[in-house]
Structure 1
Amino acid sequence: MNYLINDRVTYDSLNGKLYILNDGEVVRLSKTLNRLMLVFVQNSNKILDREQLLLSVWQGHNQVVSDNNLNSNISVLRRYLSSFFDEDMILTIPKIGFKFSAQVVVEEKINLEPQNLNNKKNLLINNKSKKKLWFFLGLTIFSIVFILGFVYIKHKNYSVSYPIVGKIDQCIVYYINDDYKLDVKNFSENTLKEKISYLGINCKLPAKVYYYVSSISMRDDDKGTLFLSYCPETSKNQPVMSCETFYEK
């Protein structure tokens, strides 16, 4: 959060910085000094006893509690503030503690480049749209390949000229990669067995399984997309091959 001190100096509590807007001078505070400054700013014009400060700045953060630590950090903070203000901002109250004597206003963080942020937002939206476009394009191409494949199979009396990559029970397996080519090298029989079991596919009867895993994803954390088409063996008199297609992210 940002605080404006005496209508002059901005204090960025998140990053531990003191500066004047549009001025090159910036003071960077250590973590301890930043905690001390934040306590003062949040309690401006209030008297804080030494015990309060030691508890908030040191003891509450598992640091060594001592008057020497408090005194030395007060001294450093005063020196930093003196580079921005002529008067002493931290007043010593004898036998009690200290008071931060200043007018403090909470600032909303200034957005210096709203147009750039809008551009970034639009860029993210465009990137997501492009991913979705590629995803659906891939899905469309895959569907067309399968349809053409089935037409080809039909005209060839259901005989397939492609090599078989494996067989699970009575299911003959064909694995297709992103280039829509049969891929023996990257085929994992164990992975496919798990998917077949999960999807409840019956491989106890003769069938053909077309297995395709795409690397196209709609989100950065997606692992890809699985397409699996299960085509039970049909009789020669049946005019159309009946297949069930599964899609899973």
Structure 2
Amino acid sequence: MDSILTMKIKFLINNTLYFHPAKQLLQPVSGEDNTVSLNTPASRCLLLLLQKQGEIVTKEDFFLHVWENKGQYANTNTLYQNISLIRKAFRNVGFDEDVIYTVPREGFSFLGTAILLEDDSNISDDNTVLNTPYSSFSTDSVIVTDHGLSTDSDVKAITNESFTSLTILFVNKILQLIYDNKKMSLMFTFLLTSFLFFSLHLYNLFQRDNDYFSDYQEIGKVNQCAIFKRSSDSLRENDDYLNYFKQKNIYCQPEQKAFIAMDTRGVKVFVHICNKNERDTASCFSNFYIEQKDEK
């Protein structure tokens, strides 16, 4: 995990509140009046959950990335206290949705939406601080990985106007270098090509819908459940998933949708059942199954 203190970014959670990793702050979208500070380990735990939204973050992952990489030690009780602190902080800023799901014997999973945005705010550090017995940890860099970040064109993480301005600024800088030294034409061609390729990639990311279930496709109906699996899942046939609902006697209410995912061994199975509008994650509930496989 790399430090992001030099990066001005924030996460928009369920279109309701902002999380500023570098400042360790939660802030309602409506304003700064009810801003709450997290201590360092709680902030790192939340950051890890947001980066891996929709995935199970194991207790071992938390111990490694939040404490052990910093030369610190924590036990399960410490982890649960910090998760509890995050939930309490959510409530204190008026966010009552239960988006942190406890996976028994495994860890936790963030089932809401988290959108990475450019942080142009200027928030004072004079805020309410929620302390736990572990808040004395050093307040060094908040850490983040390079994956697991969602974007949403509806929220315009980077608007077309600012994106265009950045592009023009970069090209003008390169043209000035060429004017000063014509021998840099080859370098200019390489840099410009790389930049345009990277810009196109970013643009596609920013235009992609952040719906967690957007890459799922419907494969059939069982027990009133409209069943969906990942479009990229080629490990199993559709009937494998449909039969699983029959074997487990999983039932839905009319018009409910069920989203199923399995690990490569078929041991861990995650089933999300949502009402008609699956984007409203507050209307979803999840079941986690651990299958016993006979060893041969």
Which TM class, normalised by the smaller chain length?
0.3 to 0.5
Q: Which one has the largest radius of gyration? A: 1
Tell which has more relative contact order, 1 or 2 (C-alpha 8 A, sep 6+).
2
TM-score, normalised with respect to structure 1? 0.43
